[in-house]
Amino acid sequence: MSIFVAEFTTNHLGNLNLLLKMVREAKNAGADFIKMQKKHVESFYSREKLDSKYDSPYGKTFRDYRTIFEFNKKDYERLDEECKSINISWFSTVQDIPSLIEMLYWDLPIYKVASCNSQNIELLKEMERLIPLEKEIVISVAGKTISEISKTISIFKNHKLNILHCVAEYPCKISNCKLGNISILKKEFESDKIKIGYSGHEEGISASLKAINLGAAMVERHFCLSRNSFAHHIECSLTPIEFKEMVNIGKSEEKIKNYFQKNKLDKRATNSGFYMSESEKKFLLDNNYNHQNQIRKNESLFH
């Protein structure tokens, strides 16, 4: 049975109360894990990027926008307490070595590598060295070739790994999901030590259900309380109702079969290809979030 991960990304908007509500809603929606992201903003981005114009409720630069989303140790204490109180585990993507050091304090069951860092040898080697062997490591591999994925995997000699097929387009068109990569990754790498999963950035749940049908052991989807938000990539986030529907159907082969009898999936969704599209290059190489600067005010984030 697949493991379901609710990826909070920056949908909490740096608001602790919103974050804690998301924790409870994700638990109620059937998530097995909550995933955070930790990034040392000042070192991860270039000065040019941080000083670039970026209008948001927090200021006029990208630094103003992105810095507000990072929580401090006290905030993480509240997150950890909340998760323990309702019996749901959390883990985090670590985007740099300072973030890895910070997250190791929490003794998390899993640590994640984002696609943009899956060839970051310095970070990967530090993760291999510092993360205890009983912990699992998740690696998204958007835009990577089989050879590049193999080199990444080779760094982790003894850890259990979850390799997630992913397309770094936000949102990703169903026709671009390249779900056929899942079967290829399973054939190439799956073992007692390595599982293959899916990190989806499409709208809706069809492609994620197909990924489960193809054998994805872990399914990660962005999670939000409402898509009426200025957070980047909000379009590909699932609301609690949608996430719960995905979990409910995804746990049953019969329900998945019935779903696709009623909902036809674009045949191109199961194409395969291990390469970086032009759209992916903008995000993976240039950190371009394609922010639309549109804040919808017709629905409260806390509704």
d(CA 242, CA 30): 11
Mean pLDDT of 107-129: 97
Output the pLDDT for position 292.
Answer: 37
d(CA 11, CA 19): 8
Question: Predicted confidence band at 241 (pLDDT cuts at 50, 70, 90)?
Answer: very high
Output the pLDDT for position 189.
Answer: 98
Q: Over 80: is that where the pLDDT of 294 sits? A: no
d(CA 303, CA 300): 5
Rg (CA), the chain: 18
> How is residue 101 written in tokens?
């050091």
pLDDT in tens, 69-80: 999 999 999 999
Least confident of 239-243, 290-294, 298-302: 298-302
CA atoms within 13 A of residue 279's CA, in its CB half-sphere: 12
Q: Over 50: is that where the pLDDT of 83 sits? A: yes
**Burial class of residue 129 (count of CB atoms within 10 Å of its CB; 0-12, 13-18, 19+):** exposed
pLDDT, averaged across the chain: 93
Domains and CATH numbers, the chain: 3-284 (3.20.20.70)
Least confident of 53-62, 186-195, 211-220: 53-62
Q: How far is CA 228 from the centre of its chain?
A: 20
Bridge partners of 165, per DSSP, are: 198
Contact 223, 8 (CB under 8 A): yes
pLDDT in tens, 138-160: 999 999 999 999 999 999 999 99
Bridge partners of 3, per DSSP, are: 218
Output the pLDDT for position 77.
Answer: 98
Phi/psi of residue 97, nearest 5 degrees: -65, -45
Q: Over 60: is that where the pLDDT of 301 sits? A: no
Contact 280, 143 (CB under 8 A): yes
Output the pLDDT for position 176.
Answer: 97
Mean pLDDT of 227-246: 93
pLDDT in tens, 196-224: 999 999 999 999 999 999 999 999 999 99
Sign of CA dihedral 97, 182, 90, 131: negative
Phi/psi of residue 17, nearest 5 degrees: -65, -40
Q: What is the DSSP string of 205-253?
A: SHHHHHHHHTT-SEEEEEB-S-S-S-STTGGGPBPHHHHHHHHHHHT-H
